[in-house]
């Protein structure tokens, strides 16, 4: 038996039996498995959490409440420095108008994402989120900030992560997403966003969020200059965090948009994105929901359902990625039709109502080894 075939059958045996694959196995798969093999293995793992033809989606909007930011990430085309022309902060009324429009379009999820704005005190956020909860109740759910912004606010207010999480919870917040992670290696941080937080701080904050009873998610962005080893390190840290806390409701990966950014670059292909989605599904054996990014891959993101993903957003706005080249298709039926043509039956997922309920992780022998 050739070495290649032996390695294939060993990794395949692990995935088929539900045994956890190692990072070396994942690297081997990335380098040697065909698209078809990755797709097949990812589909096998997906089927442990979801009915094969099922998938869910949400109609949502990202509310970019301020574009003023001091972090200066070199891959970002969105931010303005304090005092720079074009900087803005949305009033509560402006936010409400965006949320009302979302509800009118049939959506019910908003995700807040802005910058590290030194002029906004914690009270701006707590008052805004309390007002949203009071005005909309359970008609609408919102992801209040990303972990990156959460950390900045905690620092700025000189509060611990635990205390900051409590303040948000008291204001009616239920979710802080895992956004702002990009690639979670210290070296990537130093190369591209040296004023953001370290990877260790990121997980410290996320652990405090989970401990406080808030819900959270994992995210990742690929297509900068990161190495395959860095992508795997990100997945490894995500899986380990999930083992420790069980707090990650989902994993969403999207792709870097290079237009009008300081570092520029070219976009990775959809094929590479799909391979990475499949690898993520196989490797993250403890994360039930793997999400594919319509925002950055448009209709082709739906092919991710064949590569292990089970969920997607239909976004109506995100200035951060749109400024860097993302385009949004508001013809939602057309996008859903793509999913149907691929053999899936998309079902709307109401985050606020918890419907349909999240899938439970399967119990498999040996799935937590190594």
Residues lying near ligand SF4 in the complex (CB under 6 A) are found at 69, 71-73, 76, 78-79, 115-116, 148, 193
The nearer residue to ligand SF4, 42 or 151, going by C-beta atoms, is 151
Q: Residue 323 is encoded by which pair of tokens?
A: 């400024």
Residue 62 beta carbon to ligand SF4: minimum distance, rounded to whole angstroms: 12
The nearer residue to ligand SF4, 198 or 370, going by C-beta atoms, is 198
| DSSP state string for 140-206 | SEEEEEEHHHHHHHHHHTT--HHHHHHHHHHTT--EEE--S-SS--HHHHHHH-TTS--HHHHHHHH
Q: Smallest Cα–Cα separation from 46: which of 320, 308, 292?
A: 308
Helix, strand and coil percent figures for the chain, each rounded to 5? 45, 15, 40
The nearer residue to ligand SF4, 108 or 149, going by C-beta atoms, is 149
Tally the C-alpha atoms within 13 A of residue 248's C-alpha that lie toward its C-beta. Answer: 29
The nearer residue to ligand SF4, 71 or 89, going by C-beta atoms, is 71
Residue 65 beta carbon to ligand SF4: minimum distance, rounded to whole angstroms: 11
Residue 146 beta carbon to ligand SF4: minimum distance, rounded to whole angstroms: 8
Pairing mode, strands 54-63 and 311-315: parallel
The nearer residue to ligand SF4, 255 or 286, going by C-beta atoms, is 255
Residue 365 beta carbon to ligand SF4: minimum distance, rounded to whole angstroms: 42
The nearer residue to ligand SF4, 71 or 328, going by C-beta atoms, is 71
Residue 254 beta carbon to ligand SF4: minimum distance, rounded to whole angstroms: 13
Do residues 18 and 48 make contact, with C-beta atoms less than 8 angstroms apart?
yes
Q: Residue 227 is encoded by which pair of tokens?
A: 């190495």
CA separation, residue 142 to residues 4, 58, 65, 69, 310 (Å): 48, 12, 13, 22, 21
Residue 70 beta carbon to ligand SF4: minimum distance, rounded to whole angstroms: 8
């Amino acid at each position: 038996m050739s070495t290649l075939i032996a390695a294939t059958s060993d990794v395949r045996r692990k995935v088929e039996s539900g045994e956890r694959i190692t990072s070396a196995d994942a690297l081997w798969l990335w380098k040697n498995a065909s698209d078809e093999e990755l797709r097949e293995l990812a589909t096998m793992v997906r089927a442990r959490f979801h009915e094969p033809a099922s998938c869910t989606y949400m109609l949502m909007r990202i509310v970019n409440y301020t574009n003023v930011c001091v972090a200066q990430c070199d891959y970002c085309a969105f931010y303005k420095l304090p005092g720079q022309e074009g900087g803005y902060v949305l009033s509560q009324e402006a936010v409400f108008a965006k949320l009302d429009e979302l509800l009118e379009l049939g959506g019910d999820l908003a995700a807040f994402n802005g910058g590290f704005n030194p002029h906004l005190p914690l009270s701006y956020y707590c008052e805004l989120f309390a007002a949203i909860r009071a005005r909309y109740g359970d008609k609408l759910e919102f992801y209040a900030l990303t972990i990156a912004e959460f950390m900045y606010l905690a620092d700025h207010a000189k509060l611990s992560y635990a205390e900051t999480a409590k303040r948000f919870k008291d204001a009616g917040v239920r979710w802080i997403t895992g956004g702002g992670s990009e690639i979670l290696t210290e070296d990537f941080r130093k190369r591209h966003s040296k004023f953001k937080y370290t990877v260790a701080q990121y997980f410290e904050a996320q652990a405090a969020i989970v401990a406080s009873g808030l819900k959270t998610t994992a995210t990742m962005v690929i297509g900068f200059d990161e190495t395959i080893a860095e992508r795997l390190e990100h997945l490894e840290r995500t899986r380990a965090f999930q083992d420790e806390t069980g707090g990650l409701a989902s994993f969403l990966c999207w792709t870097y948009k290079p237009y009008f950014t300081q570092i520029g670059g070219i976009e990775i292909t959809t094929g590479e994105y799909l391979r990475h989605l499949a690898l993520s599904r196989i490797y993250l054996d403890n994360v039930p929901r793997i999400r594919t990014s319509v925002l950055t891959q448009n209709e082709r993101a739906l092919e991710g359902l064949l590569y292990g993903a089970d969920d997607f957003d239909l976004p109506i706005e995100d200035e951060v990625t749109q400024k860097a080249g993302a385009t949004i298709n508001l013809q939602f039926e057309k996008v859903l039709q793509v999913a149907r043509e691929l053999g899936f039956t998309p079902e709307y997922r109401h985050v606020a109502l918890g419907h349909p309920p999240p899938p439970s992780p399967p119990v498999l022998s040996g799935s937590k080894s190594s």
